[in-house]
């Protein structure tokens, strides 16, 4: 999920603690700040600290002027081969291709388990908002393919887009059956995304403040881990006891607008409800059903109806069904 | 009755037309002009002349609505943005540099119009029933909400560097250069805010303009300086015949911008820029047009919404500079005032949108005739003149210091929103009850 969804979930978790609301009413914002900060902390650790110290065995650095998809595919295939012979995980980093202050050359990597090959396609130039620049696609169909020396087992998406800021990392790890496991972003959602690490932070909070702070910290941190588990990548939930990420539930993707907005909105409503029920002496009275009707069903329903009215005519003008994927292969429909 | 309606209509349009002049002058904020107007009204009252509410309420509403919508023109085309336009400026500047400045401006204008619709037709009818309940629950919790927002702003900035090269301290330092600059900007601006709050060099007579030189220094001047130093050449601008937007795009923008602007309008010290940031993250926006348009919505809902809150029957809160100035002059009493202001907002919104295209074309002609670097220099001179006229040498000193801080995010590619520490930090400390202790520790009192 997006940072704001994790953050507000942490604040929401804090709002369930009566002492947090009580302290806030008396002018002490500590528990809510802790809830939010620890709600976003697992990703902060990964993206602002750990990834800069994560070492790689190979770096793929495409030429900005003349990116060669075959070279990229060959380097990836070589990394897979090395993973088989080295007897340890091999980490490879795909660097992004910066074309200017706001422009990046996109390229797409796909591991095709069926044909045991890796495919790379050079895409358009995109801006930092990942919007393609018109007519910036390479003139030739720039696709590179390389055969892999072992069958590949994927735990995440088969296709990875490389475009803005920091490129992705893959870790290849050979197993006893001679296959190679592909781990996407091995530095992410690993040790930092563990309930035991949450407990460690809680212990630290207890030492620094009190047990109430510890509860808020563990609740905020754990809310993050549970939300992430709804996605595809999963997390290493019990590090250091476990060494690998548990598979996600595949219910949503981290960048999807609707689940993210729903999490934020629901958190806001629950915070509001908790403040209402834990604040004495209020003039107005309502129940949870009122809140849900006025706060969720009515506005979201109104948005849905207007959205439907505005887009219902588009059904007949939908884009033609794509019969080829990004690599020109025929897609089954 | 008909005379009243015609009066409201006339003065609303007059206020909106006046705002068009204010809007295209960089750094001149609607609140500066409203402050001067309020002083004029006080002077008239002293002389025994009373101005009816049917004149000054719609007039002020016209100025606030017109400015909120038309100020987009210099924000995008002249590059001297108001803080709340921070998020319009990036994609807006991109549009300008690809010859689509007119399109970018007009899309933001459509956003402003959608914001007017959102305020008048969606929020307006429900506000007297819903907002007093919300305010009743949140009244004693505003301070921590502000702290939670501050923490999010500081924790959500993304490292700009550290993308290439081997792992290690060098990579980490490269990434943290922009993040460190962001933190430094926030705390330095916060320190400046404490100084302005407790020991401002701006004279007491001009105290109502206390924060203006700081904002000009933090946001407007670094932009002008950057334009002048970089010497960017603005390409010829195309006048698009179609904005290529549809109802769904407007709906999504209105929802995101309305949420952000509404949040900023309702919570004290939270500005349109912050509301826009939060709404943008919450709705996971990717589409550039939705992004630009939602910032137009957010800006309008923030400025106009905060002004309107003063008139919501049964609510009793004052948010934003315009409402505070108005409150000293007139206390709204009934639904009559509320609906009159809502009506004025609708009229002003329509009038401002009609002025948007000709004013944008005029400004484009101006930047095509005058070298962009010279235009920035002229903007800078106007800014300096206005700051000096309004706040004297004290204001100039504040502005120079603020410029130094405002240049940090420009030079280190960090988030300019961190400059809002000037407001957020001292006020959050005061709301939580330890602002004075910090001021004493800083030896400001």
Q: Containing H/E element for A104? A: strand A103-112
B9 Cβ contact partners less than 8 Å away, ≥ 6 residues apart: B347
ipTM value, please give it: 0.90
Give B394-423 pLDDT, tens digit per residue.
999 999 999 999 999 988 888 889 999 999
B431 Cβ contact partners less than 8 Å away, ≥ 6 residues apart: B142, B143, B146, B268
Q: Do B433 and A11 touch (CB under 8 A)?
A: no
- Residue A88 shares a structural domain with residue A132: yes
Q: Is B177 on the interface with A (CB under 8 A)?
A: no
- Residue A134 shares a structural domain with residue A221: no
- Residue A150 shares a structural domain with residue A225: no
Give A288-312 pLDDT, tens digit per residue.
999 999 899 998 898 899 989 988 8
| Of the residues A184, A217, A241, the one at which a domain ends | A184
Overall average pLDDT of the A68-93 stretch = 92
The pLDDT assigned to A223 comes to 97
- Residue A77 shares a structural domain with residue A168: yes
**Residue A253 maps to a domain:** yes
Phi-psi region of B3 (alpha: psi -120 to 50; beta: other; left: phi over 0): alpha
Chain A residues touching residue B163 (CB < 8 angstroms) = 95-96, 165-167
Q: Containing H/E element for B171? A: helix B169-198
Flag whether pLDDT at B372 surpasses 80. no
Tokens describing residue B368: 């095509």
Overall average pLDDT of the A112-136 stretch = 86
Minimum-distance CB partner of B247 among A36, A276, A310: A310
| A58: β partners | A92
| Of the residues A184, A218, A237, the one at which a domain ends | A184
- Report the distance separating Cα B68 and Cα B119, nearest Å: 13
- Residue A37 shares a structural domain with residue A131: no
- Residue A247 shares a structural domain with residue A149: no
- Report the distance separating Cα B101 and Cα A321, nearest Å: 35
- Residue A132 shares a structural domain with residue A214: no
Report the percentage of chain A scoring pLDDT > 90.
59
Q: Do B147 and A96 touch (CB under 8 A)?
A: no
**Residue A227 maps to a domain:** yes
- Residue A73 shares a structural domain with residue A176: yes
> Chain A: nearest CA to B283, how far in angstroms?
5
Split at pLDDT 50, 70, 90, the class of B231 is low
- Residue A63 shares a structural domain with residue A172: yes
Please provide the DSSP assignment of A11-45 as one string. Answer: HHHHHTSHHHHHHHHTT--HHHHHHHHHHHHHHHH
Q: Do B141 and A272 touch (CB under 8 A)?
A: no
**Residue A42 maps to a domain:** yes
Overall average pLDDT of the B215-229 stretch = 85
Burial status of residue A258 (CB atoms within 10 A of its CB: 0-12, 13-18, 19 or more): exposed
User: What's the domain count of chain A?
Assistant: 2
CA angle B154, B159, B165 (to 5 degrees): 155
Please tell me the least confidently modeled range out of A318-332, B99-113, B309-323, B327-341: A318-332
The pLDDT assigned to B85 comes to 43
| Of the residues A184, A210, A235, the one at which a domain ends | A184
- Residue A209 shares a structural domain with residue A99: no
- Residue A12 shares a structural domain with residue A46: yes
**Residue A284 maps to a domain:** no
**Residue A316 maps to a domain:** no
Burial status of residue A189 (CB atoms within 10 A of its CB: 0-12, 13-18, 19 or more): buried
- Residue A115 shares a structural domain with residue A180: yes
**Residue A172 maps to a domain:** yes
Minimum-distance CB partner of B171 among A52, A95, A256: A52
Give B46-75 pLDDT, tens digit per residue.
888 888 888 888 999 999 999 999 988 888
Residue B78 DSSP label: I
Residue length, chain B? 445
Q: Count residue pairs from A and B with Cβ separation < 8 A.
A: 135
Flag whether pLDDT at B18 surpasses 70. yes
**Residue A304 maps to a domain:** no
Overall average pLDDT of the A122-134 stretch = 83
**Residue A310 maps to a domain:** no
Give A226-258 pLDDT, tens digit per residue.
999 999 889 999 999 998 899 888 888 887 888
Flag whether pLDDT at A217 surpasses 80. yes
Q: Is the bond into B118 cis (omega within 30 degrees of 0)?
A: no
Range of the domain at A16: 3-51+192-279+292-297
Chain A residues touching residue B168 (CB < 8 angstroms) = 52-53
């Amino acid at each position: 999920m997006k940072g704001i969804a994790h953050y507000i979930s942490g604040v929401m978790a804090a709002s369930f603690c009566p002492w947090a609301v009580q302290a806030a009413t008396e002018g002490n914002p500590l528990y809510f700040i802790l809830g939010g900060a620890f709600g976003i902390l697992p990703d902060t650790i990964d993206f602002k600290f750990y990834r800069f110290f994560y070492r790689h065995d190979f770096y793929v650095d495409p030429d900005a002027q003349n990116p060669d998809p075959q070279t990229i595919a060959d380097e990836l295939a070589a990394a897979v081969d090395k993973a088989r012979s080295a007897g340890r995980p091999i980490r490879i980093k795909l660097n992004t291709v910066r074309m200017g202050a706001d422009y990046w050359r996109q390229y797409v990597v796909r591991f095709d388990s069926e044909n045991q090959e890796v495919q790379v396609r050079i895409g358009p130039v995109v801006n930092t908002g990942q919007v393609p620049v018109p007519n910036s696609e390479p003139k030739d169909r720039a696709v590179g393919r390389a055969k892999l020396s072992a069958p590949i087992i994927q735990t995440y998406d088969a296709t990875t887009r490389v475009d803005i800021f920091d490129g992705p990392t893959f870790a290849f790890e050979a197993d006893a059956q001679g296959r190679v496991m592909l781990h996407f972003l091995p530095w992410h959602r690993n040790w930092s995304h563990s309930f035991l690490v949450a407990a460690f932070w809680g212990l630290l909070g207890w030492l620094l403040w009190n047990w109430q702070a510890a509860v808020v910290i563990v609740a905020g941190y754990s809310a993050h881990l549970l939300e992430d588990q709804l996605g595809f990548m999963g997390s290493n939930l019990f590090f250091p006891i476990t060494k690998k990420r548990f598979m996600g539930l595949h219910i949503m993707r981290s960048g999807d607008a609707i689940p993210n907005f729903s999490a934020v909105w629901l958190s806001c409503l629950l915070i509001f409800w908790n403040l209402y029920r834990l604040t004495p002496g209020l003039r107005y009275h309502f129940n949870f059903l009122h809140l849900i009707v006025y706060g969720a069903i009515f506005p979201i329903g109104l948005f849905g109806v207007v959205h439907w009215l505005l887009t219902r005519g588009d059904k007949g003008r939908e884009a033609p069904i794509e019969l080829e994927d990004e690599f020109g292969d025929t897609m089954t429909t | 009755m008909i005379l009243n309606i015609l009066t409201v209509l006339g003065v609303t349009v007059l206020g909106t037309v006046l705002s068009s002049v204010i809007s295209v002058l960089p750094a001149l904020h609607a609140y500066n002009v409203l402050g001067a107007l309020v002083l004029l009204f006080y002077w008239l009252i002293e002389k025994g002349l009373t101005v009816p509410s049917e004149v000054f309420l719609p007039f002020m509403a016209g100025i606030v609505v017109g400015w909120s919508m038309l100020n987009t023109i210099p924000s995008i085309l002249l590059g001297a943005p108001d803080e709340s336009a921070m998020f319009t400026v990036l994609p807006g500047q991109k549009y300008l540099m690809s010859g689509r400045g007119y399109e970018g401006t007009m899309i933001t204008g459509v956003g402003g119009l959608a914001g007017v619709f959102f305020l008048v037709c969606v929020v307006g009818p429900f506000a007297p029933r819903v907002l007093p309940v919300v305010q009743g629950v949140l009244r004693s919790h505003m301070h921590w909400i502000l702290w939670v927002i501050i923490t999010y702003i500081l924790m959500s900035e993304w490292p700009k560097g550290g993308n290439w090269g081997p792992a290690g301290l060098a990579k980490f330092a490269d990434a943290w250069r922009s993040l460190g600059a962001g933190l430094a900007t926030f705390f330095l601006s916060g320190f400046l805010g404490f100084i302005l709050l407790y020991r401002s060099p701006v004279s007491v007579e001009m105290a109502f303009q206390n924060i203006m030189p700081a904002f000009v220094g933090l946001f407007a001047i670094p932009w002008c300086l950057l334009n002048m130093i970089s010497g960017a050449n603005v390409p010829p601008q195309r006048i698009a015949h179609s904005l290529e937007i549809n109802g769904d795009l407007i709906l999504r923008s209105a929802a995101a911008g309305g949420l952000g602007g509404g949040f900023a309008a309702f919570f004290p010290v939270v500005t349109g820029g912050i509301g826009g940031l939060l709404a943008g993250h919450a709705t996971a926006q990717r589409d550039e047009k939705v992004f630009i348009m939602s910032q137009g919505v957010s800006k309008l809902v923030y400025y106009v919404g905060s002004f309107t809150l003063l008139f919501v029957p049964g609510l009793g809160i004052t948010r934003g500079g315009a409402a505070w100035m108005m409150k000293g002059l007139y206390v709204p009493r009934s639904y009559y005032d509320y609906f009159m202001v809502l009506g004025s907002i609708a009229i002003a919104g329509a009038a401002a949108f009609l002025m948007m295209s000709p004013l944008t074309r005029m400004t484009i002609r101006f930047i095509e005739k005058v070298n962009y670097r010279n235009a920035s220099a002229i903007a800078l001179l106007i800014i300096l003149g206005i700051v000096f006229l309004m706040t004297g040498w004290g204001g100039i000193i504040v502005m120079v210091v603020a410029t130094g801080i405002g240049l940090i995010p420009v030079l280190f590619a960090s988030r300019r929103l961190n400059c809002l520490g000037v407001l957020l930090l001292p006020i959050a400390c005061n709301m939580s009850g330890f602002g004075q202790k910090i001021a004493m520790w800083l030896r400001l009192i």
